[in-house]
Amino acid sequence: MVAVAGMIGTGLFLSSGQVIASADPVAALLAYTLMGFVTAGVAYTTGEITAFMPSTGGFVRHATKFVEPALGAATGWNFWYTMAINMPAEISAAATLV
């Protein structure tokens, strides 16, 4: 259950009501399905690139190698910021849900 909650995230539970209120439920389901396909495509593509050319730096190293070193640096800093802000955001979302 913890793994499922980690994959779905609290954003789904916090934003679903707002989305359904501003659009109809069919449009919300269509939007979530579309973004699920986009996310799956990105995950599969990252997996294929990693299988083709494994590296120790993950997707940050791939951005550096295949596109531009500046993009790799920006990707690394953005990933660090995302991980740094994740726990306070989850705590804030938990307080909102409670």
CB 60 within 8 A of CB 76: yes
- One digit per residue, the tens of pLDDT, for the chain of length 98 reads 556 666 666 667 777 777 778 888 888 888 888 988 998 998 899 899 889 988 888 889 999 998 999 999 999 999 999 889 888 887 887 787 77
The predicted model scores a pTM of 0.64
DSSP string over 47-90: HHHHHHS--TTTHHHHHHHHT-HHHHHHHHHHHHHHHHHHHHHH
Q: Residue 16 — φ and ψ, nearest 5°?
A: -65, -45
